[in-house]
Structure 1
Amino acid sequence: MPIKAWSGKSRPGFSFLNTNMTTSPERNKISYLVRLIDDRDEFVRIRVRDKLVEIGEDAIPFLEIVARTESPALKSKALQIIQSILPKKIQAQFGQLAGNSTKKYQDLEAGVILLAKFGYPDEDMDYISQVLDQLAAEALNQVKIN
């Protein structure tokens, strides 16, 4: 059963939420929260933002769709919420990395890539990995020469 699109006139343009996803309470909750990110009531907007940040990574696809398809004001609000979620996601990934620390050098590269995701979220992480590999090869050559 698809998620129903908002039928009220105060929330036009949310037809993207009427997708063929499998229905789940969490997805319904996220879609309804996303519809309220531009609510007239500031209290509601703040609570919605906080709840979406709390939900975290699962809310990002919904917010990315809004950021691509809606008005500049909605785009700005959606991107702000995404930017609030990303540090928490990266923090969790750092925790996993620290907990699974077995190969120190691979973990170092993974840590650098996580830092890059935090500081430069739009950059290509595969390219950064390639540059790190190239730098490591050059450093190894320098060590062998000396």
Structure 2
Amino acid sequence: MVGSSENQIRALIRLLADENERIVKTISGKLVEIGDTAVPLLQEAEIEQPEMARRIEEILDEIRGSRLEDDLRTLAAYPDDRVDLETGAFLIARYGYPNLDVQAYGRQLDTMATEVRDRMGPRCSIGAPVFRSACRSSTCSWGGVSACR
């Protein structure tokens, strides 16, 4: 049912109000199958129809979970030396915070990394033990974020 029209998705969402649990389960499955295309309309319905919020939130969680599983499988398929920890951390964070601005946090991490590199100077290549030591001996706060304490 991928490629469903907005009207079809809205009709399915209306059917979530049905009292028959089998119908609701079937409709929920179809909306999960549609996936990301249904998300904005589900979010809209969640606000407009608070009596269906619990059902809608369960569907949204299922869609997010499926997307997260696919993305994590893709990431895990890379050789160990090519896995990007930052990408993995943001994948997990996006599950709990679907509207997370990953790029903004990525820029903040880049700024922090540059500042740590500047503070550590030539010792930077020594690695994590030096980072922890340098961090404990300085204020270790960037953009309102405190670390290493």
Please list the CA deviations of residues 19-48 of structure 1 after superposition, one character each: whole Å capped at 9, or x if unmatched.
xxxxx9722432321111111211111111
**How much has 1:110 moved relative to structure 2?**
2.0
Other-structure match for 2:71: 93
Correspondence 1:1-146 to 2 at 5 A: 26-27=4-5, 28-68=7-47, 70-98=48-76, 104=82, 107-141=84-118, 142=120, 144-145=122-123
The alignment-based identity, stated in percent, is: 30
* Structure 2: gaps spanning 5 or more residues: 124-129, 131-149
Q: Indicate conservation of the 8 Å contact 1:113/1:125, yes or no.
A: yes
Please list the CA deviations of residues 37-64 of structure 1 after superposition, one character each: whole Å capped at 9, or x if unmatched.
1112111111111221122212112201
Question: TM-score w.r.t. structure 2 length?
Answer: 0.63
Q: Which structure has the bigger radius of gyration?
A: 2
Query: What code does the residue aligned with 1:110 have?
Result: T
Q: Indicate conservation of the 8 Å contact 2:4/2:34, yes or no.
A: no
SS in 2 for 1:26: coil
Q: Indicate conservation of the 8 Å contact 1:33/1:48, yes or no.
A: yes
Q: Indicate conservation of the 8 Å contact 1:109/1:132, yes or no.
A: no
CA distance in structure 1 between the partners assigned to 2:63 and 2:21 by the alignment: 20
Change over 3 Å in CA distance of 1:119–1:40 after alignment to 2? closer
CA distance in structure 2 between the partners assigned to 1:118 and 1:60 by the alignment: 14
The count of corresponding residues between Structure 1 and Structure 2 is 121
